[in-house]
Amino acid sequence: MKPDPSMLPVLIVLLPLVGGVLAPILGRGIFGWLLALITTGLTTFVCASQLLLIQAQNALTPGFSVSYPLGGWPAPHGIELKIDLLSALLATLVSGMGFMVTLFSRQGVDDEIPSDRRRFFWSLWLLAITGLLGILITGDAFNVYVLLEISSLTIYGLIAMGRQRTKQALTAALNYLVLGSVGASFILIAIGLLYAKTGTLNMADIHAKLLLAPVDATVLTARAFLLAGVGLKMALFPLHLWMPAAYSTAPSAVAALLAATATKVGIYMGMRFIFSVFAMPGDEMLSGGNVFIIGSCCGAAIFFGSLSAARQPSLSLLLAYSSVAQIGYIVVGMTVGHIDAMTGSILHMVFHALMKGGLFLCAGILIYRLGTTRLEDLAGLGQRMPWVSAAIVVGGLGMIGIPGTAGFVSKFYLLKGLILSGHPVLAGMVLLGSVLAAIYVWRFVEVAYLRPAGDTPLRNGLPFEKILPVLILLGASIVLGIQPGVVVDLARDAAQQLLGVTP
């Protein structure tokens, strides 16, 4: 009899899946929210334990990862869950954000979703989290596609439940559905080509087989399809067109969850495929031409994303376009394949999720109390809702990357890596991006503090469950800006593991 295997890996997807299936049965009234809260809380606990276990093992044997064969069928023939430091870190982030946003959104969901749909809302909500977590921990390429479809289909549904089911929300969901399906098909084509080439679907096995075979047109085509598909999913400029509309019309809870997690998981897919599947030994991860193309996309994302953000009529759209720019930062760091840039990239994924999640929650509070996030209706917000506008300013400072906020730490590592790897132009873009971010943050400051108070009536109180997540997320961005040690170590180890560099 073998010793009992640890069941932590499978619990990461199992808990939200069971919760998502139970929600339509049990989810009437407040129970749906309670179920989602308990499920995401437990999942966060499991992910965090897994992260700590892997980190402890990693200190002894670098490059450690947990493998879990489903059904007891060993890889490469069976499907395995494979969790390394990066997977565990991001799984903790995704489930933790899921918990925070769930905690936040009880009244918001009561406010925005009709009562007969609420139990299905919580079901879709938990299934979306299941899909996102599954992508992070699976070691099977086809599984990635299936879980991607699970998370995407549920997210289309969640977006379409937008405010009073306006036409914009439906249009945004349809746009995302079409573009997202194109992206998913590209990823499927890439996986199909890889399968044709190697005859296996296990990622580690594909990688091992690719190392033995010469790089030919099939592999290059697969990589091209994969990068395009993943680019659509992560909303990298110029493939970001679905994102601002989807974020600004979705229910406020959904917008916060998406901004904090969904695009991050897209970026994770890109990292995983580029560095763990396609990576060639002794070769650069991406050729000079690829770095040029993706680097230009990132530069354009930072430039146009920030400039567009400064011209938007509402806070939700402003935040969405700011996300376009921030995704540019994250991707630029992973492109050059330098250890410091990769550390910065992973750090920025975590910190951006905290800050942008917190900011979208603030936008959710505005919708809950004012019913709008149009900037002209926010005039004088600094006097009318001092705490909320202060929180938005704190998040905004993090977007700029002022020293003392978490945004500074990740940008510092990005810049260091970009300069050390010999890409001064890209480093310049990152610096320019900070200046441009100051423009759109200033727009909010100007509206909120330098204009006379508007007369949009305030409704509803400000319940404690709404304040607490905002405080935790934006508080964490300040604390981690001053004491980033723990997360930096984790990100550096994860980056080393991903790049296969020995310390």
Site residues (vs another protein, CB under 8 A): 4-5, 7, 10, 14, 17-18, 21-22, 24-25, 68-72, 116
Give dist(CA 384, CA 372) in Å, integer. 15
**Min separation Cβ 439 and another protein, Å:** 44
Nearer to another protein, 12 or 325 (CB): 12
How far is Cα of residue 120 from the mean position of the Cα atoms in its chain?
23
CB 240, CB 228: distance < 8 Å:
no
CB 329, CB 397: distance < 8 Å:
no
CB 195, CB 201: distance < 8 Å:
yes
CB 411, CB 434: distance < 8 Å:
yes
* Helix or strand (DSSP H, E) at 414: helix 406-420
Nearer to another protein, 55 or 151 (CB): 151
Nearer to another protein, 5 or 29 (CB): 5
Give dist(CA 84, CA 63) in Å, integer. 8
CB 54, CB 65: distance < 8 Å:
yes
- Extract the tokens encoding 219: 């592999």
Nearer to another protein, 170 or 419 (CB): 170
CB 359, CB 396: distance < 8 Å:
yes
CB 135, CB 151: distance < 8 Å:
yes
Nearer to another protein, 68 or 242 (CB): 68
CA atoms within 13 A on the CB side of 142: 14
**Min separation Cβ 95 and another protein, Å:** 18
Nearer to another protein, 68 or 99 (CB): 68
Nearer to another protein, 72 or 281 (CB): 72
Nearer to another protein, 72 or 289 (CB): 72
**Min separation Cβ 296 and another protein, Å:** 44
**Min separation Cβ 86 and another protein, Å:** 23
**Min separation Cβ 106 and another protein, Å:** 22
**Min separation Cβ 438 and another protein, Å:** 46
Nearer to another protein, 68 or 304 (CB): 68
**Min separation Cβ 178 and another protein, Å:** 20
Who's near 285: CB < 8 A, 6+ residues apart? Answer: 274, 275, 278, 279, 337, 499
- Extract the tokens encoding 191: 């996986």
Cα-based angle 188, 192, 197 (whole degrees, multiple of 5):
150
Nearer to another protein, 26 or 310 (CB): 26
**Min separation Cβ 371 and another protein, Å:** 24
Residue 83 main-chain phi, psi, to 5 deg: -120, 115
Asked whether the bond before 238 is cis by omega within 30 degrees of 0, the reply is yes
Nearer to another protein, 22 or 243 (CB): 22
Nearer to another protein, 80 or 493 (CB): 80
CB 471, CB 342: distance < 8 Å:
no
How many Å from the N-terminal Cα to the C-terminal Cα in the chain? 38
Q: What is the CA radius of gyration of the chain?
A: 22
**Min separation Cβ 344 and another protein, Å:** 36
> Hey, what amino acid is at 172?
A
**Min separation Cβ 10 and another protein, Å:** 4
**Min separation Cβ 94 and another protein, Å:** 20
**Min separation Cβ 92 and another protein, Å:** 21
CB 13, CB 130: distance < 8 Å:
yes
CB 32, CB 26: distance < 8 Å:
yes
CB 341, CB 264: distance < 8 Å:
no
Who's near 428: CB < 8 A, 6+ residues apart? Answer: none
Secondary structure class of 385 (helix, strand, coil): coil
